[in-house]
Amino acid sequence: MYIRFVNYLDKINQYRKSKISNRNFLVILAIIVGILAGLAAAVLKSLTHHIEEFLQSDWHWKYKYYLYFIFPMIGIFFTVLYIKYFIRKSKFETGLTPLLYSISKKSSKVEAHNIYSQIITAAVTVGFGGSTGLEAPIVTSGSAIGSNIGRILGLSYREITMLVACGAAAGIAGAFNSPVAGIVFAIEILLPEFTIPAFIPLLLSAATAAVVARLFYTQQLFFLVTEGWKVDALFYYVILACFIGLFSIYFTKANYAVKGLFYKIKHPYTKVIVGGLMLGALVFLFPTLYGEGYITIKGLLKGDYQTVINNSIFADYSSISAVVVLFTIVTIFMKSIATLVTLGAGGNGGTFAPSLIMGGLIGFIFAYVVNLSGIAQLNVSNFIVAGMAAALGSIMHAPLTGIFLIAEITGGYVLMVPLMITTAISYAINRSSQKHSIYTKALADKGELLSHEDKDTTVLNQMKLKYLIEKSYPQLQMNDLISVKMNEIMQSHKNVIAVTDEVGDFKGIIYIEELFNEMVNHPEKENLKASHLVQTAPNTITENDGLKTVLEKMEQENVWILPVLTIKNQYLGFVSKTAIFNKYRALLMRQNDYMG
């Protein structure tokens, strides 16, 4: 059955190659990916909001509000349970870092289960009050759709990567009804290189997803009423940008700290209990932390400045401005902790939505305090919107995504200049301290990140050492007689020999030139053993080394070839600069032909 299916696909591919160019075929696939990703976005949002509505409105019980303390833990528990029993054959990972790793080191292979598992786990986590966002899961789900369509049709790495980016762009477009932001996100975050032909598939995929999602889910995320911005307020936008830039640095460092704490907890259910109780306590004290938190920003944009403190145990003090200010400031920092605890405990989600919430709250409290002081009268809604864009752009290292996303979802195109100023400054402040974003730092530390700036490293990261190992080199054991193996050595036409022991452990190498000299000059050449000629290799390569590391070792030792070993010192073969450079040139040629 499987063979018949593969043959059928092969016939389809042969037919379409003769009738349709790669460029046009990718356009068709981009539209298909857009339709499916748009449906996925609509399903995720609807499912999450139905869970939230059931828990908050439809379920009537006298003491149900006391359960809000444990709702987040229940959601995380269900998520962990689903992952354990329904995803057994592959690894389940959250956030955008695994997606970037798939593009960088796994030939853009995103496991098929992510198409639905990301939706299920994210809906359960956030619906039950987990303080994360839905955007990272829908991006991964959309990317998985693109990746698996490309793999089923036998497309090349570059073509699959394009469909992965189309799926991500479609996910953002469907989730926010913001096709431009989806395109910009895919270019800024996912695509290692951007070419003009790539713009068309992204455009069509994002636009299609926005239309499809809108057919099933029509709620507008934010409504902004503004008269525009004033020149004399630009100074305050700059100050706001500085605050958000510094906060983004704090959030980045807090991300690593909280991850480190939960990493030390080995048992998954212990993580659920510890994280769930912490999150429940935070949500109990600060109701704004429940779920995505967009409802709070909606209230603030409408002018309800007490919405942050309403429904909390401090609601009776909502008329006191100082209490509102203090409560909001604490909520901002607690939102960051709640988000990271949710993810660390095993919940699914991303930092996309939390970034918007934290930035919006910072923008609100800044303008609110300035207005209370009487120094100036600022448009609070404008600063909320600017804060959202600045926080997203600086935390994700995606300033253009922040600008266009906020302009689209709020209709605040008239605020484009303040959005640009605040986002650019906050991003510059974060980048001065953090070279990489929270998504890319772990990959960069391991040398596994595709780089826009270093194209050589980008191409080398696409190459895999295991495909470049040459196993045709002669191999001797320590006690082998050279005279017995001479015929085999001569026929190999190689200039180096690998020497191992009886179980395959690598012991060293023998250079052919030295072997010939010894055979001529040695008085008992018939009894000459490999152990007499073996010498330590200049360096060795392990099977997990990246190609950049391999070339660095070769340059360091000034050699053209090095032996490759397993982590247990078992000999595998040799890798040469010639093989690496040939593969490098082939990849460059394939990129030049891309979408031709």
What is the per-residue pLDDT across 32-73, written as a single tens digit (0 to 9) for each? 999 999 999 989 988 988 888 877 665 555 555 566 778 888
Residue 153: what pLDDT? 83
What pLDDT score does 194 carry? 59
Helix (H, G, I), strand (E, B) or coil at 562: strand
Rounded distance, CA 275 to CA 125, Å?
12
Q: What contacts 403, CB < 8 A, 6 or more positions away?
A: 389, 393, 416, 419, 420, 423
Q: pLDDT exceeding 70 applies to what percent of the chain?
A: 87
Check whether 452 has a pLDDT greater than 60: no
Query: How far apart (Å, rounded) are the C-alpha atoms in residues 166 and 149?
Result: 12
Q: Which residue has the higher pLDDT, 170 or 305?
A: 170
Q: How far apart are CA 72 and CA 80, in angstroms?
A: 12
Neighbours of 490 (CB within 10 A): 11
Mean pLDDT of 506-516: 82
Q: What is the pLDDT of residue 389?
A: 92
Question: CA 210: distance to chain centroid?
Answer: 22
Instruction: Check pLDDT > 60 for residue 580.
Output: yes
The closest of 541, 519, 540, 542 to 529, measured between CA atoms, is 519
Q: In what order do the strands lie in the sheet with 496-500?
A: 475-477, 496-500, 506-511
Residue 233: CB partners within 8 Å, gap ≥ 6?
376, 378, 379, 382, 418
How far is 530 from 344, CA to CA, in rounded Å?
A: 54
Closest CA to 463 of 585, 348, 356: 585
Query: For the chain, what percent of residues have pLDDT higher than 90?
Result: 20
Which helix (H) or strand (E) element contains residue 10? helix 2-19
pLDDT band at 241 (very low <50, low <70, confident <90, very high): very high
- How does pLDDT run across 340-384, given as a tens digit for each residue? 999 888 888 888 888 999 999 999 999 999 999 888 889 888 999
Looking at residue 594, its pLDDT comes to: 43
Do residues 172 and 185 lie in contact, with contact meaning Cβ atoms separated by under 8 Å? yes
pLDDT value, residue 593 = 47
Q: Averaging pLDDT over each range in 136-140, 406-410, 494-498, which range is the top one?
A: 136-140
Q: Please state, in angstroms and rounded to a whole number, the distance separating the CA atoms of residues 236 and 229.
A: 12
- Residue 60 Cα distances to 52, 56, 130, angstroms: 13, 9, 21
Q: In this predicted model, what pLDDT tens digit does every residue of 200-231 receive, in sequence order?
A: 888 899 999 989 988 886 666 666 666 777 88
* Dihedral (Cα; 63, 52, 286, 292), 10-degree rounding: 170
pLDDT value of residue 422: 94
Q: Check residue 481 and report its DSSP letter.
A: B
Q: In the structure, what pLDDT confidence band is assigned to residue 326 with cuts at 50, 70 and 90? A: very high
* Average per-residue pLDDT for the chain: 82
- What pLDDT score does 588 carry? 64
Compare 551 and 453 and report the one with higher pLDDT: 551
- In this predicted structure, the answer to whether residue 437 has a pLDDT above a threshold of 60 is yes
Closest CA relative to residue 570, chosen from 543, 538, 533, 534: 543
- For 380, residues 6+ apart whose C-beta sits below 8 A from its C-beta are 300, 303, 305, 364, 367, 368, 371
Does the pLDDT at position 105 exceed 50?
A: yes
Q: Read off the pLDDT of each residue in 107-134 and give the average, rounded to a whole number.
A: 88
Residue 511's H or E segment, with its range, is: strand 506-511
